[in-house]
Structure 1
Amino acid sequence: MQIIIVGCGKVGRTLAEQLQEEDTDITLIDINADTINEIIDEVDAMGVVGNGASINTLMEAGIETADILIAVTVSDEMNLLCCLIAQKTGHCHTIARVRNPIYSKEIGFIKERLGVTMIINPELAAAQEISRLLRFPSAIKIDTFARGKVELLKFKVMPEFNLDGKSIQEITEHFRCDVLFCAIEGKDFTTIPGGTNTIRNGDMVSILATPQNAAAFFKKIGLKTHQVKNAIIVGGGTISYYLTKALLAMKIKVKVIEKDKNRCEFLSEELVDATIINGDGTDRSLLLEEGLGSAESFVTLTNMDEENVFLSLFAKTISNAKLVAKVNRLAYDDIIDSLDIGSVIYPKYITADYILQYVRATQNSIGSNVETLYHILDGKAEALEFKISDHSPIVGKTLQELNLKKNLLVGCLYRDGTVRIPRGHDTLEIGDSVVIVTTNRGLRDINDILAK
């Protein structure tokens, strides 16, 4: 598969790094020669220096034979123009990153009239992820499948849960909740567990369940399951705009602290039910004055990763708030994760996962389709949702009959509006949605779960 990426910023670089593992030929386009040279030294890709909206540049990059063009420059208009010209020049699928809230109301028109195959809005996706976390604050990360009917929730095992030293089988039998343990992350290991694996205090554990069953399990082990009642957000950018709208719809009280006076005026006009404060969100006295000590959630969305992390660390010392920090730079994610500052959101990863999901879907063979894809466990594993649409070697056979790959879990089945955690006697049928969790990379089709 031939893929052209226009724009080699953080998202373009992340995409190139992940797509090089997908049996693809990648060509990168950017106006900055130094940027191109730096990336192609690290990634197996061709580089073209030029304007991605230029026909000559696209022709040089091979648009006539390309399968997908992905436009992720800093300009929405540039991305849409690249896609429009690409469609007129070649016959490829086109994906555009579009972030401006004005365009978010016109996605249908853009896709239908301009012919853009897929629109990606990283800020909206990040806001949706944060709103899920504030609905269920005990979770560190929440990924959704089957249109929200199934969730993959990550939480930290604390001493008060009384789970230390217990095996997964013991926990499942004791609490009698229909949840599946998908992953355990300890200090020195990451594993997709079986029933005999034990859990220790401090481990990060991921479970797969319906929202109702997950809530029941968390309640039994002593974790809070109610959404927050209020939120303080530092930074009034695009993510903050989308998040505030979502939280207000959830009846959550919101305060937004933003330095720029003009931006505050815009937010005040657009978000009339929120409290917009013109001030420095890093000012300790201001945060205390606005009630950080008693706030139920604190979200840091400034353009500075360092500010977001330090503010979360400060909030951790004076409050019991649910903490969420946005981080753009990916190089230090392992260090940030070790700080234990609650939930960390990486918009670049969210965007890359959406696009990778689409690429896998266009590569699949007849029989199924990749509906959802997330990188989990710091990129060491994937959680994928497949929709089974036709006959294949796995249809009609029980799971215990199938020769499944190692380090792979069939996490849940969604059939006729019902979610179930599958057992060995269950079968996969046409029309099912099935969630797979695995450390095996590159699954494109449901048949890929079988060992060769």
Structure 2
Amino acid sequence: MKIIIVGGGKVGVTLAESLRAEDHDIAIVDPDGDVIEYVSTEYDILGIQGSGVCCGDLREAGAERADLLIATSSLDELNILSCVIASRMGTHRCIARVRDPNLTGQLPFMRDKLGLSAMVNPELYAAGEISRIVRMPSAIRVDSFAKGRIDLAEIKVEAESRLCGLKLSMLPSIFKSKLLICAVNRDNDVIIPGGDFELKAGDKIHVTAPHADLASFFKELGMYNQKIRNVMLVGGGRIAYYLTKQLLDSGISVKIIEMDHDRCLELSSAFPKAKIICADGTDQDILISEGLSTADAFVALTGVDEENIILSMYAKQQGAAKVITKINKPTLKQMTESVGLDSLISPKMLTADMITQYVRAVQNSGGSSISTLYKLLDGQVEAIEFVAREGSRVLDVPLFHLQLKPNLLIAGIIRGGKVIIPSGRDCIEAEDSVIVVTANRYFMDLDEILA
């Protein structure tokens, strides 16, 4: 596909890297010449130094024949205008990065009247990810499929765990919960395991299960699964705004520590049930006096990665039960995990995953559509939810008769709202949602799972 990215910030560059890896024809437009030189050289893409609202610059980028334009600048209004102009010039589909809560609900109008195909909101996605982890605190990360009916959770196998030394084929005889271990990270090697695979201490595993079964599994393991009742946030930006709304709606009390007085007034007005502290969240006296050691969960949401990492390390030391850290630089992830911080949230990477999902769905509009896509283990594994369509070669065949590609598992089937953790005897039927976990990246159609 011919794709134009407007804006060479962190989101734009992350998208350029992700989409270029899937062999799309990418052009990027940004007013900063240094950014253009870096991106065009690093990723071998067309760079245009200019404006996303200038017809001449968009024409040079190929807007008259482009399949997709993604506007990712820091200004919502500029992104919307860029999409409107590109749509009028002939670009088939346009996506705008829109972060203002007052604008995100206006997609139907903008789609019908202004030519926008979709809006993406990195901060809203990040808040949703954090909220899922807060509701399942034993997990490092929690993703959901089929409108929340089935979860994919990442957990670490500790030396004293009942999982340690266990072969996967033994799981059904030991645990009552219906689940499937579908991916393992062992010493940074990624494994899609079979039944003879034996778990070891230190493994990070991805478990697929219906939500209730996952909670029961954690209980059977004796892992911390106490309901979180209070959360402390440091940083009162947009993620904090969206997250506070979600947590309060779930009956969880929220305390926000934010330095900016005007922002504190805005948050206090928006969320009268939350406690807003106007103070420096990096001051340890403030953190201690506000009850850090007794917090059920602590979330570091400042605009500086290094501050978030240090705050999270301190919160862990002080006894906060669950610690979640926002980072923007993907290069910090492995280093951060090495100091014991596992639950890391990257709004930029979440956005790249969402747009990659959209692009693949557009490319394969006639086949089995992609409903959801997550990239796991630093992008080495993908978990994809397909909707099986009539005519697919995988229909009505017992799974053990399907010749599947290596390093791939069918991790779940959702049929008429019912979740099936599949065995070899199960079949896929038309209109089923099918969850595929694979180390073979860039699948666009369900039939591509076949060897």
1:199 is matched with 199
Q: Deviations over 1:113-149 (max 9, x none)?
A: 2221010001011001101111111111011111111
1:270 is matched with 270
For residue 166 of structure 1, give the secondary structure of its aligned residue in structure 2. coil
2:151 is matched with 151
- How far the C-alpha of 1:363 sits from its partner, in A, is 1.0
Gaps of 5+ in 1: none
1:238 is matched with 238
* Paired residues of 1:258 and 1:278 also in contact (CA < 8 A): yes
* Paired residues of 2:133 and 2:142 also in contact (CA < 8 A): yes
For residue 200 of structure 1, give the secondary structure of its aligned residue in structure 2. coil
Determine the C-alpha separation between the residues in 2 that align with 1:188 and 1:309.
21
Determine the C-alpha separation between the residues in 1 that align with 2:50 and 2:390.
43
Q: Deviations over 1:322-363 (max 9, x none)?
A: 100100112222111222224110000100000000000011
Q: Deviations over 1:385-422 (max 9, x none)?
A: 00112212222222122211000001100011111011
Determine the C-alpha separation between the residues in 1 that align with 2:320 and 2:91.
54
Gaps of 5+ in 2: none
My pick for the range that moved more, 360-369 or 205-214, is 360-369
Determine the C-alpha separation between the residues in 1 that align with 2:433 and 2:422.
12
Q: Deviations over 1:286-343 (max 9, x none)?
A: 1000000111100000001011000110111111421001001122221112222241
- How far the C-alpha of 1:365 sits from its partner, in A, is 5.8
- How far the C-alpha of 1:179 sits from its partner, in A, is 0.1
- How far the C-alpha of 1:171 sits from its partner, in A, is 2.8
* Alignment root-mean-square deviation, CA: 1.2
* Paired residues of 1:322 and 1:342 also in contact (CA < 8 A): no
Aligned sequence identity (%): 45
* Paired residues of 2:292 and 2:320 also in contact (CA < 8 A): no
* Paired residues of 1:365 and 1:445 also in contact (CA < 8 A): no
Q: What letter matches 1:27 in structure 2?
A: A
Determine the C-alpha separation between the residues in 2 that align with 1:109 and 1:339.
47
Structure 1 runs (4+) deviating above 4 angstroms are none
1:429 is matched with 429
2:79 is matched with 79
Q: What letter matches 2:150 in structure 1?
A: V
Q: Deviations over 1:247-282 (max 9, x none)?
A: 111111111000011111111111110000000000
2:359 is matched with 359
For residue 245 of structure 1, give the secondary structure of its aligned residue in structure 2. helix
Does residue 390 of the first structure (1) align with residue 378 of the second (2)?
A: no
Matched positions, count:
451
For residue 332 of structure 1, give the secondary structure of its aligned residue in structure 2. helix
- How far the C-alpha of 1:181 sits from its partner, in A, is 0.2
My pick for the range that moved more, 410-419 or 193-202, is 193-202
2:98 is matched with 98
Does residue 18 of the first structure (1) align with residue 28 of the second (2)?
A: no
* Paired residues of 1:21 and 1:442 also in contact (CA < 8 A): no
* Paired residues of 1:146 and 1:433 also in contact (CA < 8 A): yes
* Paired residues of 2:107 and 2:118 also in contact (CA < 8 A): no
Q: What letter matches 2:9 in structure 1?
A: G
